[in-house]
Structure 1
Amino acid sequence: MNKKLIFFDIDGTLLDEQSGSVPASTIEAIEKAQKNGHLCFINTGRPISTIDKIITDLPFDGYVCGCGTYIEYQQKILFHTELDFELRKKVIQSIDQYQVDAMLEGKSGVYFSQHLKHPFIQAIKKKYQDLHFQVHSFSSHEDVPFDKLTVWYQPDTPIEAFKKALENDFLIIQRDIDFLEIVPLPYSKATGIQYLIDHLGYTLKDTISMGDSLNDLPMLTYTHESVAMGNSHPLLLDQVTYITTPVNQDGIQHALEHFHLI
């Protein structure tokens, strides 16, 4: 059996967002894949600073975080890129000018806009505080370290003008009708995969990825084999080589069995 690099998204892929837990079948399947010699990685849009303990307690071989801006293998940081001062300043000024609610995401913590209006980002901030992550606020006059960002906005927000201000420097992913994920060019979940392929001496044919949302498209369309969870965004379904059952219906186990990895 050829040894594979297997990349997993977190939310909606490993983590059942209804229960907030990782199904027992998922844990068992990943452990079986590793016993068979395959390497298993997290590949997420989240920064390393906001990975739940329920995930870090699992014996993953490494992490690709922040859509390729941070890469770790066997608890050693292989790569990390942070926005430079001028780009950080441009982003923070744009957030203030166009009045979006933002979360700036970095290796050491996350920074929220001071006066949040959108209920979803308010809920995220509370959740992260409850989990004792490093949570801070920022003002338009501060310089804080971050790698990427997510923003939420209102119906009357001039969001097209905000996107135009950043489009030359960032990949802007429309995650929902009022939610953007913003990643510095040229990084993505796919560039993180290629970094590990090169570092570990594998080939693209040795890769499989599993995800459920639009920010997973770069990795799902990059790896040799790809899996959409049964609970995936509909736009993913014709972009993958296999559609498994939902996360809470043993989706990861079925996918690993389908590819004869367990």
Structure 2
Amino acid sequence: EKQTPACSREIVELVRRTNVAVLYERSDAMFIDRSTRILPYLQDLLKLYESKHVTVSDLPDDADWYTDKFVIWYDEQSDLAAFQAGLTGKFDYIDRGNHFAEMVPCGCSKATGMEKMMQLLGADRSQIFAVGDSLNDRPMLEAAGTGIAMGDSPMLHPYADYITANLADDGLEKALAHFDLI
């Protein structure tokens, strides 16, 4: 969901005030704010993107700039409580573990997308299988008829109907076979 430039600039200021590292995302681009901290995991991600020729632009000063969603990394120098309080009414905070979090527009999740697809296809919830590997998949797993968590995603296990093997151990294939889908 596209955010307004005004809301997006409020988020930029919030990020700067609370001392977190950030990567802004939208459907056509990703942006880094070099005036904020670049924590090690973000630095590693930027190196990976560079090696794969994925463009990450510097945050522009354009009045019409906006972000759809964003991710942060934080540590003991970050004011996480103030950051979360500043999101109220704008973005939902999803803890992804390892001092990493994802922000999505309030009321927008993989579950809302799945529900729209179910309506378009005329599908019943009981026919829907969802597979996830991170807490950003929680709403989708809970909304599906059957929620499947990857074995190497313990934070998601309490919300799953079935836990499969790790991704690297063919967890997706094993889950599909378990439910006779392949």
Q: What's the TM-score once normalised by structure 1's chain length?
A: 0.65
Structure holding more helix per residue: 2
Answering whether residue 109 of structure 2 is matched by residue 178 of structure 1, we say: no
Q: Percent identity?
A: 31
Q: Determine the C-alpha separation between the residues in 1 that align with 2:166 and 2:141.
A: 17
C-alpha distance after superposition, 1:111-166 (max 9, x if no partner): 01214430100111121122122310116x55533210001122121111111011
Indicate conservation of the 8 Å contact 1:109/1:133, yes or no.
no
Residues 226-237 of structure 1: matches in 2 within 5 Å? Answer: 226-232=147-153, 234-237=154-157
Would the aligned equivalents of 2:32 and 2:57 in 1 still touch at CA under 8 Å? yes
Residue in structure 2 matching 1:96, options 16, 20, 28? 16
* Partner Cα separation in structure 2 for residue 249 and residue 202 of structure 1: 30
User: Following superposition of structure 1 onto structure 2, how do residues 132-211 of structure 1 map, counting pairs within 5 Å?
Assistant: 132-138=53-59, 141-143=61-63, 144-211=65-132
Q: Which residue of 2 aligns with 1:259?
A: 179
Q: 8 Å contact 2:30–2:57 — kept in the other structure?
A: yes
Distance in 2 between the 1:196 and 1:148 partners? 21
Q: State the 4+ residue runs in structure 1 displaced beyond 6 angstroms.
A: none
Amino acid at match of 2:121: L
Deviation track 1:10-30 (CA, whole Å, cap 9, x = no partner) reads xxxxxxxxxxxxxxxxxxxxx
Secondary structure of 2:139's aligned partner:
helix
Stretches of structure 1 lacking an aligned partner (at least 5 in a row) = 1-80
Query: In structure 1, what residue type is equivalent to 2:3?
Result: L
Asked whether the 8 Å contact 1:105–1:147 carries over to 2, the reply is yes
**Paired residues for 1:38-187 under 5 Å:** 81-115=1-35, 116-138=37-59, 141-143=61-63, 144-187=65-108
**Shift in Å, 1:200:** 2.1
Larger relative contact order (CA 8 Å, sep ≥ 6): 1
Quote the RMSD (CA, aligned, Å). 1.6
SS at match of 1:238: helix
Task: Name stretches of at least 5 consecutive residues in structure 2 with no aligned partner.
Answer: none
Give the match's secondary structure for 1:221: helix
